[in-house]
Amino acid sequence: MKGGIFGLCGALLFVQDAIAQQLGSTPPGWVLRRQGDSGYECKCYPDDDCWPNKGQWEKLNNTVGGNLQVNIPPGAPCYNTFKGPLGDVETYDEAECEKVTSNWADEQFQIELPAAGLWTYFTNDTCRPTTTPTDTCTLGYYPVLVIMAKTDAHIQAGINFARENNLRLIIRNTGHDFLGRSVGWGSLVINTHSFQDIKFSDTWSGGCGYNGSAVTVGAGVQAFQVLEQANAMNPPKIMVTGECATVGVAGGLVQGGGHGPLTNFHGFLADTALEFKVITADGALKTANAKKNPDLFWGLRGGGPGAFAVILEATYKTFDDPPSAGINLDIDRTHTTNATLFWEAVRIFHGYSTYFVDNDLYVYYELGTAGQNLHVHPFVGVGKTLAELRAVVQPMFDDLDAIGIEYTTSGAEDFATFYDLYQTMFEGEAAGNSALTGGWTLGRQDVEDNHPGIISAFQTVLAAGSFMIGHMWSAGRGVPESQWASSSVNPRFRNVVDKIITLVPVAGNAPLAEKAAAQDKLTNVVDAALREAAPNGCAYVNEADPYEPNWQEAFWGDNYPRLFELRKKYDPEGVFYAVSTPGTEDWEQIETGTRLCRKV
């Protein structure tokens, strides 16, 4: 480490500029690196001479009201010393260590930390809570500094500072991102958690052919917060969110699309968006709706998280919340140890996927999480009574009975609203897990033409030590075809009947060869099997392999060229970066996933 806490520009900068001039066009503030035969221009990091000096950081800190923090990884209180890129810090604190250890798997605990990633794989897991304080705690891929933004002006200052100093910038809301997009080595984070405003309106006055009810939410609002308030209204209201109550509703979710239990009726969260207030890479405050900046409005509706602008607030349609019913199904080793019989049951269950969504069911299931295990939790009938829901699922139960398999059903209940069902039947989820996440979707055509192939792909996924989470819905049913193109999600989604997440467990601090093997397995065995079995499917940018082959086509299909142009228009210099998002083809995280650079 050189130049004290914040590094100081010195003679080396001059030398580097001289090299840059020799090579031609490297702009100031970019750092030249080589890896293999390739040359790169990289963002500026703490060990580079272009890293801002103490005075510059102090000035930024003043501009953001003293809300700039040096980031200490969450496990640090369990270690004597945190060996950070800005210097060593004595961190041991027994009470804090106990707190972080016991809350490690608690989503909300991790969400409220300044810059934690809920999927620790992408933090590199270099400072896990421990009982051995003499072990080494380093930053790994956790960010270096964080702006805990409280106002629009703080976010603007952060964007401008990152752009002017060529720093790796990350926008962090809840830290849920399955692909590690809300953490990054050597980065400056803007944390949006304080943006908590929620405003309902009975009639949206923003025009664009819609005058129904709406809600405007700040960037940091989470699903459970807005749903709770919506449910307290008279009559109770609801909006499209994911199945997970802790995900943010104005950050990554809408920018990736945002599917959930109401998707059969209203499409993606992105389909229900009416307006965004944003700050673009040039630091300008903009409104994006169907009339103002309509191209940006379109891109923010499913065109990729963290790609075009920072969202300050978003407005969505809200809907009356109808009575609903649910039911759970479990088949595991307590029911049969006969693998042939188990897979026959899976085939029967899954063979109904098209029928389920055609009858407006949302079906959330896990396959293989505990070995030979099918956990359907739950079948959801939004707007249905339990009797109506039972009538829809009865043919499947008849088929299961016919092969003589035992199973358990539970939770069968009528609810006054979907919200009540959501609160009661959906299971909580844990943070702090380390896995590589992938996924693929199954088109209607694939299920009709190649169901045996799909089931053998599932068997391949499980045999590889992976497991899967499925979501049966139709994003094409509730949204008229004439409106499909108003959001930028892959048009293929409209014919999807099952959206699958695959998970390959791997420790975040595993040796590099083991990580490479896990990535290879995800891409070339697990997801490859699903892709091959379902050629009419596509991939969901928020729940996919970060290194999905042909990601442009897989994530966005025919919409990609327009999204690429949009990125070049709104962020020509690459102020924002998130893996496998539009226009990032030239960018690479070299030196084992650390320095973000563009190829020269």
Ligand X SMILES: *[C@@H]1O[C@H](CO)[C@@H](O)[C@H](O)[C@H]1NC(C)=O
Contact positions vs ligand X (CB under 6 A):
61, 66, 68-70, 124, 126, 138, 140, 185, 203, 211, 338, 340-341, 344, 509-512, 515, 592, 594
Task: Enter the tokens of residue 452.
Answer: 């045996």
Nearest-approach distance from CB 245 to ligand FAD, in angstroms: 9
Partners of 119 in the β-ladder: 433
Give the amino acid at 172.
R
Residue among 72, 24, 73, 30 at smallest CA distance from 51: 30
Q: What sign has the CA pseudo-torsion 426, 427, 432, 434?
A: negative
- Binding of ligand FAD by 310 (CB under 6 A): yes
- Binding of ligand FAD by 502 (CB under 6 A): no
Nearer to ligand FAD, 174 or 495 (CB): 174
Distances 310 to 220, 361, 518 between C-alpha atoms, Å: 12, 34, 32
Angle among Cα 365, 366, 371 to the nearest 5 degrees reads: 150
Nearer to ligand FAD, 336 or 584 (CB): 584
Q: Which residues ranging from 424 to 483 are in contact with ligand FAD (CB under 6 A)?
A: 429
- Binding of ligand FAD by 43 (CB under 6 A): no
Tell me which of 128, 163, 176, 277 binds ligand FAD, using CB under 6 A.
176
Nearest-approach distance from CB 570 to ligand FAD, in angstroms: 12
- Binding of ligand FAD by 518 (CB under 6 A): no
Nearest-approach distance from CB 534 to ligand FAD, in angstroms: 19
Q: Among ligand X, ligand FAD, none, what binds residue 174 when CB lies within 5 to 8 Å by partner kind?
A: ligand FAD
Task: Enter the tokens of residue 410.
Answer: 């539970």
Contact partners, residue 393, CB within 8 Å, separation at least 6 = 327, 356, 361, 379
**CA–CA separation, 242 vs 224, rounded Å?**
10
**CA–CA separation, 262 vs 277, rounded Å?**
25
Q: Among ligand X, ligand FAD, none, what binds residue 181 when CB lies within 5 to 8 Å by partner kind?
A: ligand FAD
Task: Enter the tokens of residue 133.
Answer: 């304080």
- Binding of ligand FAD by 110 (CB under 6 A): no
Nearer to ligand FAD, 308 or 319 (CB): 308
Partners of 147 in the β-ladder: 68, 190
Nearer to ligand FAD, 173 or 372 (CB): 173
Contact partners, residue 528, CB within 8 Å, separation at least 6 = none
- Binding of ligand FAD by 251 (CB under 6 A): yes
Residue among 401, 360, 353 at smallest CA distance from 376: 353
- Binding of ligand FAD by 306 (CB under 6 A): yes
- Binding of ligand FAD by 252 (CB under 6 A): yes
Nearer to ligand FAD, 75 or 470 (CB): 470
Nearer to ligand FAD, 84 or 299 (CB): 299
Distances 371 to 342, 459, 525, 592 between C-alpha atoms, Å: 11, 11, 18, 33
Q: Among ligand X, ligand FAD, none, what binds residue 180 when CB lies within 5 to 8 Å by partner kind?
A: none
Q: Among ligand X, ligand FAD, none, what binds residue 171 when CB lies within 5 to 8 Å by partner kind?
A: ligand FAD
* Window of 250-258, 413-421, 484-492, 521-529 that interacts with ligand FAD by CB under 6 A: 250-258
Q: Among ligand FAD, ligand X, none, what binds residue 280 when CB lies within 5 to 8 Å by partner kind?
A: none
Nearer to ligand FAD, 39 or 478 (CB): 478
- Binding of ligand FAD by 174 (CB under 6 A): yes
Q: Among ligand X, ligand FAD, none, what binds residue 242 when CB lies within 5 to 8 Å by partner kind?
A: ligand FAD
Burial of residue 341 (CB within 10 Å: 0-12, 13-18, 19+) is: middle
Contact partners, residue 68, CB within 8 Å, separation at least 6 = 57, 60, 61, 145, 146, 147
Helices (H), 8-147: 11-23, 54-63, 94-103, 107-111
Tell me which of 123, 192, 293, 523 binds ligand FAD, using CB under 6 A.
192
Binding mask 553-592 for ligand FAD (x = CB under 6 A): -------------------------x--------------
Element (H, E) at 171: strand 169-172
The answer to whether 313 and 219 have CB atoms below 8 angstroms apart is: yes
- Binding of ligand FAD by 178 (CB under 6 A): yes
**CA–CA separation, 140 vs 96, rounded Å?**
20
- Whether residue 129 is preceded by a cis peptide bond, meaning omega within 30 degrees of 0, is no
Q: Among ligand X, ligand FAD, none, what binds residue 102 when CB lies within 5 to 8 Å by partner kind?
A: none
Nearest-approach distance from CB 207 to ligand X, in angstroms: 11
Partners of 576 in the β-ladder: 169
- The DSSP letter of residue 180 is S
Nearer to ligand X, 36 or 511 (CB): 511
- Binding of ligand FAD by 169 (CB under 6 A): no
- Binding of ligand FAD by 173 (CB under 6 A): yes
Give the amino acid at 355.
Y
The answer to whether 64 and 149 have CB atoms below 8 angstroms apart is: yes
Nearer to ligand FAD, 119 or 458 (CB): 119
- Binding of ligand FAD by 72 (CB under 6 A): no
Give the amino acid at 219.
A
Nearest-approach distance from CB 539 to ligand FAD, in angstroms: 13
**CA–CA separation, 167 vs 43, rounded Å?**
6
Measured N-to-C along each axis, helices 451-463 and 339-351 cross at an angle, to the nearest 10 degrees, of 130
In 491-586, beta strands by DSSP E: 496-505
Nearer to ligand FAD, 244 or 472 (CB): 244
Give the amino acid at 146.
V
Task: With H, G, I as helix, E, B as strand and everything else as coil, classify residue 345.
Answer: helix
CB closest to ligand X, residue no: 66
Nearer to ligand FAD, 16 or 272 (CB): 272
Binding mask 521-550 for ligand FAD (x = CB under 6 A): ---------------------xx-------
- In the block, residue with structure tokens 């989604």: 493
Tell me which of 129, 218, 248, 443 binds ligand FAD, using CB under 6 A.
248
Which residue ranges make up the site for ligand FAD (CB under 6 A)?
118, 170-178, 181-182, 192, 219, 242-244, 247-248, 251-253, 255-256, 258-260, 305-306, 310-311, 429, 542-543, 578
